[in-house]
Amino acid sequence: MRIDYHKWRAFKDCPKKFHLQHIKKEPVTVPTNDYFKLYGVLTQRFFQMYCNIWRFKTPYLFPEIIRERLEKLYRGVLLASTVDWDAKGVKLTEEEVLEQSYASICAIMESQNQNYFLNTKSEITIEIKTRNNDVINGRIDFIHHPPTSKDIIIIDGKGTETLGKNIDKNQLFFYALLCYFKYNIIPAQMGFFYYKFNTFAPIPIDVNSLNKFRAELSLDIKSMTEGKNYPATPGTKACRYCLYKDKCSEATKIKKKATSKLELDGDGLVSFGF
Ligand code: SF4
């Protein structure tokens, strides 16, 4: 089996979700809307091009060049996306998403944080074969090489609205482990770069924490590849973002439980699930 971070995360969230998505490959029951990823994908794409191509010719990009290139990238991103601009939760127009990304990129490129994207490679794919012939693989957003040392810094770009929300530090441990097996080096630093906040948030790493993660991952891989049953482990967060929730009986159970509690506590006029 090929195991990347997202497959492993699905298993951790709920083995049933993992089974439906990655073993049975069932069609999802919730319509996808790429609107919520547009800003992050576009901004990420810009820095990917900057790190891998543009910086070699012109490390400093004038705002008008940034805009021109970003508009071109945006057309490609929109073509590859499915966006429902009328869906609940959609706050920005197509144009406003572009402007938001443009403002973030200009702020980063005019600040010291531009350094994170210099001496940096983007979208690095690493594959490791296990003794059981499974493959652990991952695509790392950025690997930065500080100019004065042989260290590496792993950076994962985030387009989230809130600092620290919906992030999983194990994503970085997953990539750090891949780097360790591939390059025999433990990253000197790893962290999330929040585009909207022009902020790098480091996550501590050392040999012990990496070993602990490695033990957890190898146990999970055993269960993922040898497991004969994949029980549902419903949880508010896991179910909220699950693309199978509309037809999942376990998710419904949570909904009923949450609803009945609210009805008991209240006056019976207001009831809602998650
Ligand atoms: S809706 Fe919840 S319980 Fe059902 S598969 Fe998804 S995460 Fe698991």
Encode pLDDT of 159-176 as tens digits: 998 887 778 999 999 999
12 lines ligand 1 (CB under 6 A): no
232 lines ligand 1 (CB under 6 A): yes
Taking CA atoms only, the protein residue closest to ligand 1 atom 7 is 239
Query: Which residues have a Cβ under 8 Å from the Cβ of 9 and sit 6 or more positions away?
Result: 168, 170, 171
62 domain-assigned = yes
234 lines ligand 1 (CB under 6 A): yes
Statement: residue 256 has pLDDT above 70: no
133 and 81, same structural domain?
Answer: no
143 and 160, same structural domain?
Answer: yes
191 and 64, same structural domain?
Answer: no
Residue 54 burial (CB count, 10 A): 17
Residues 153 and 167: their CA atoms lie apart, in Å, by 18
224 lines ligand 1 (CB under 6 A): no
Counting ligand 1 atoms within 8 A of each CB, the residue from 9, 12, 14, 236 with the most, and so the one to mutate, is 14
20 domain-assigned = no
102 and 44, same structural domain?
Answer: yes
133 domain-assigned = yes
144 and 8, same structural domain?
Answer: yes
Q: Which two tokens stand for residue 14?
A: 């709920």
45 and 90, same structural domain?
Answer: yes
178 domain-assigned = yes
Statement: residue 7 has pLDDT above 50: yes
Counting ligand 1 atoms within 8 A of each CB, the residue from 28, 240, 248 with the most, and so the one to mutate, is 248
Q: How close is the Cα of 242 to the center of ligand 1, in Å?
A: 6
Counting ligand 1 atoms within 8 A of each CB, the residue from 229, 250, 257 with the most, and so the one to mutate, is 250
7 and 129, same structural domain?
Answer: yes
Residue 123 near residue 51, CB atoms below 8 Å: no
Least confident of 66-75, 138-147, 254-263: 254-263
Statement: residue 268 has pLDDT above 60: no
191 lines ligand 1 (CB under 6 A): no
**Number of domains present in the structure of the chain:** 2
250 lines ligand 1 (CB under 6 A): yes
262 domain-assigned = no
At residue 228, φ and ψ (nearest 5 deg) are -100, -25
189 domain-assigned = yes
pLDDT at 253: 59
What's the domain range around 180? 2-13+119-226
Statement: residue 117 has pLDDT above 90: yes
Band (pLDDT 50/70/90 cuts) for residue 265 is very low
Q: Which two tokens stand for residue 141?
A: 């957003």
Mean pLDDT of 212-235: 91
Report which ligand 1 atom has the smallest distance to the Cα of 250: 3
148 and 185, same structural domain?
Answer: yes
Q: How close is the Cα of 75 to the center of ligand 1, in Å?
A: 34
216 and 144, same structural domain?
Answer: yes
Counting ligand 1 atoms within 8 A of each CB, the residue from 11, 16, 28 with the most, and so the one to mutate, is 16
Distances (CA, A) of 157 to 73, 231, 245: 17, 32, 28
152 and 100, same structural domain?
Answer: no
Q: In this predicted model, what pLDDT tens digit does every residue of 59-101 receive, in sequence order?
A: 999 999 999 999 999 999 999 999 999 999 999 999 999 999 9
Last residue of some domain: 110, 127, 152? 110
202 and 168, same structural domain?
Answer: yes
Q: How close is the Cα of 22 to the center of ligand 1, in Å?
A: 14
Last residue of some domain: 80, 110, 140? 110
131 domain-assigned = yes
Band (pLDDT 50/70/90 cuts) for residue 259 is very low
